[in-house]
Amino acid sequence: MILRQIYLNGKVITMNSKVPEATAFEIIGDRFWAVGSDDEIRKMADDQAEVVDLAGKTVVPGLIESHNHMSIYATTMLQADCSPNANQSIEDVKIQIRELADRTKADHWVKGWGYDDTLISDNRHLTRADLDEVSKQRPIFILHVSAHLAYVNSKALEITDVGPQTPQPDGGEIHKDENGVPTGLLLEPGAINLVGQHIPSYTVSEFKEVLPKAIRHYHQFGITGTHDAAIGYGGEAGEVCRAYRELEAEGILNLRVYLTIVEEQYQRLFELGLGTGFGSNFLKLGGVKLFQDGSIQALTAALTDGYLNKPDLKGDLILSQEVLNDLVEKYHSAGLQIAVHANGDRAIESVLQALERAQHLRPRGDHRHMLIHCQLASDDHIRRMKKLGVIPSYFVNHVYYWGDRHASLFLGPERAQRIDPLGSSMKEGLMFSLHSDLPVTPVDPIFSIHNAVNRTTRSGELLGPAERISVFEALKTYTINAAYCSFEESIKGSIEEGKLADFAVLSENPLTVESGAIKDIRVEATTVGGRLVYGSY
């Protein structure tokens, strides 16, 4: 029997500009059927319909995370937690890795995630020697919180034949000591993959074990849709895609997933004629993912002017302009969406030049190419993105998590004020989304919205007041704008007749609560396609 539900007595923030507010709605099957006042909707109630009293609670469209790494996050459940949340010192990190190593079969890799050299009391990178103290028998691979650096022990270097003789790879660096011996630190995909390519992928069944747990985690934060970005980054894309497909076939996939896939792996789909938009309302193929620099706190973002703490260092572009131009032209001409990772202003400039060139050669009306993170976009970049129809997805959580260190350590106060220029983008009328980049920062759209509205750093400083935006605009970035990023604004992103019945019930109304208290709003229930997946009404 088709599900029929009537929801009454709510404060419904619809994000539909034609009917911005409502108190009630009707759902038939997996869609909103009618949205309006209690009186209008109550008339539709009959014996067949389930009636839910929202008790004055606030309802928002299901929240959509437009850049994060859900499948990578899921696999962290199988790894040592090396993040500052779980550890204060390198000694603590070693204990975490040792506990996992003790549970790991002798010839298997021991993996860890989330290490942050700037937030650990030792204030330095891990070394091969640190990890050798944990184990010399088992290979160890630890990913930095930025995912742009990794640390390995001697066994890992030995197995993968990376040593003093290994030449520096394109798009990366094997950090070596004064004698030319690798220290265990690997920078950027070019170097990380020298080791990473030898680590067996997680199996389909391992992904199927941990993905539902990750999805439950997302539901707790009101998330009903996500871009799982850069599938294939440092590993095989096949297992994760197959796991998602099987979960969908088994009726277990109850979060809408849009897959962006790294270019090396996308080529195979491209050859088969598959592309952006292929799939279902639960599992859809997204765009091609490219990388043009690293991260600011890893000192690998490509800047125009040097880093504050290392003025001679400006960070490298990952791809030469010619290679980037060719790749962008290829996928742009084929009608596919392209999402490029670029943090530093020099990387953003390079990506915009490639996109402008492709658009000039092969004009396309509705490509919706995305610039991911886009933290140091200048006013000129913003104007050019607007002109080109490029959507930046800003990594606004940086203001809270790294804002203090961007000001004092990496960028200096002037450039730090400008990171994630939301206010400047609003002024220019440029549409954008926001994201958490989980597992880089926690996935919690309410907290990201709080950061966009308040721009308060960890130490309580206000960083870049001119770049703050209103709560309503911040909410747009996680609903209708995020739906636009996947060409799905006609089926989701607002509470509107005919759209998928995805929504979240909140403990408070973000539009009326005091701005400093937005982060304290809890998600009380999450519904996907008319089905309650978390909490209660």
Cα–Cα distance between 39 and 25 in angstroms, integer?
A: 11
- The strand pairing partners of 71, in sequence order, are none
Which residue lies nearer to Zn ion by CB, 116 or 437? 437
Considering the complex, what minimum distance in angstroms separates the CB of residue 216 from Zn ion?
Answer: 21
Going by C-beta distance under 8 Å and a sequence separation of 6 or more, which residues neighbour residue 29?
2, 3, 530
Which residue lies nearer to Zn ion by CB, 33 or 113? 113
Which residue lies nearer to Zn ion by CB, 79 or 393? 393
Q: What is the DSSP pairing of strand 182-187 with strand 149-152?
A: antiparallel
Considering the complex, what minimum distance in angstroms separates the CB of residue 240 from Zn ion?
Answer: 15
Which residue lies nearer to Zn ion by CB, 437 or 467? 437
Q: In this structure, are residues 13 and 475 in contact, taking their beta carbons and an 8 Å threshold? A: yes
H/E element holding 241? Answer: helix 238-249
Which residue lies nearer to Zn ion by CB, 26 or 437? 437
Q: In this structure, are residues 483 and 500 in contact, taking their beta carbons and an 8 Å threshold? A: no
Considering the complex, what minimum distance in angstroms separates the CB of residue 230 from Zn ion?
Answer: 6
Q: Residue 164 class from Cβ within 10 Å (0-12 exposed, 13-18 middle, 19+ buried)? A: exposed
Cα–Cα distance between 526 and 446 in angstroms, integer?
A: 14
Using CA of residue 438, residue 439, residue 441, residue 446, what is the dihedral sign? positive
224 SS3 class: strand
Considering the complex, what minimum distance in angstroms separates the CB of residue 26 from Zn ion?
Answer: 38
Q: What is the DSSP pairing of strand 338-342 with strand 283-291?
A: parallel
Cα–Cα distance between 439 and 111 in angstroms, integer?
A: 15
What is the chain's length? 537
Considering the complex, what minimum distance in angstroms separates the CB of residue 435 from Zn ion?
Answer: 8
Considering the complex, what minimum distance in angstroms separates the CB of residue 414 from Zn ion?
Answer: 26
Considering the complex, what minimum distance in angstroms separates the CB of residue 395 from Zn ion?
Answer: 8
Which residue lies nearer to Zn ion by CB, 437 or 444? 437
Which residue lies nearer to Zn ion by CB, 68 or 79? 68
Considering the complex, what minimum distance in angstroms separates the CB of residue 164 from Zn ion?
Answer: 32
Which has the closest alpha carbon to 482: 412, 421, 411, 392?
392
Which residue lies nearer to Zn ion by CB, 232 or 529? 232
Which residue lies nearer to Zn ion by CB, 293 or 437? 437
H/E element holding 139? Answer: none
Considering the complex, what minimum distance in angstroms separates the CB of residue 104 from Zn ion?
Answer: 27
Considering the complex, what minimum distance in angstroms separates the CB of residue 291 from Zn ion?
Answer: 9
List C-alpha distances in Å: 413 to 82, 294, 308, 408, 452.
29, 21, 10, 7, 18
Which residue lies nearer to Zn ion by CB, 345 or 437? 437
Q: Which residue has the CB atom at the shortest distance from Zn ion?
A: 437
Give the DSSP per-residue string, 256-284: EEEEEEEHHHHHHHHHTT--TT-B-SSEE
Instruction: Compute the half-sphere exposure of residue 148: CA atoms within 13 Å on the CB side of its CA.
Output: 24
List C-alpha distances in Å: 264 to 105, 122, 267, 343.
31, 37, 6, 21
Which residue lies nearer to Zn ion by CB, 297 or 527? 297
Please state whether 230 falls in left (phi above 0), alpha (psi between -120 and 50) or beta. left
Cα–Cα distance between 259 and 138 in angstroms, integer?
A: 33
Which has the closest alpha carbon to 407: 509, 309, 481?
309
Considering the complex, what minimum distance in angstroms separates the CB of residue 389 from Zn ion?
Answer: 22
Which residue lies nearer to Zn ion by CB, 339 or 521? 339
Considering the complex, what minimum distance in angstroms separates the CB of residue 524 from Zn ion?
Answer: 29
Considering the complex, what minimum distance in angstroms separates the CB of residue 436 from Zn ion?
Answer: 9
Cα angle 14-20-26, degrees, rounded to a multiple of 5: 45
Which residue lies nearer to Zn ion by CB, 319 or 533? 319
Which residue lies nearer to Zn ion by CB, 24 or 438? 438
Contacts with Zn ion by CB under 5 A lie at: 437
Between helix 238-249 and helix 204-219 the angle, nearest 10°, is 70
Cα–Cα distance between 410 and 408 in angstroms, integer?
A: 7
> At 370, phi and psi to the nearest 5?
-120, 145
38 SS3 class: helix
Considering the complex, what minimum distance in angstroms separates the CB of residue 288 from Zn ion?
Answer: 14
H/E element holding 185? Answer: strand 182-187
Q: In this structure, are residues 376 and 416 in contact, taking their beta carbons and an 8 Å threshold? A: no
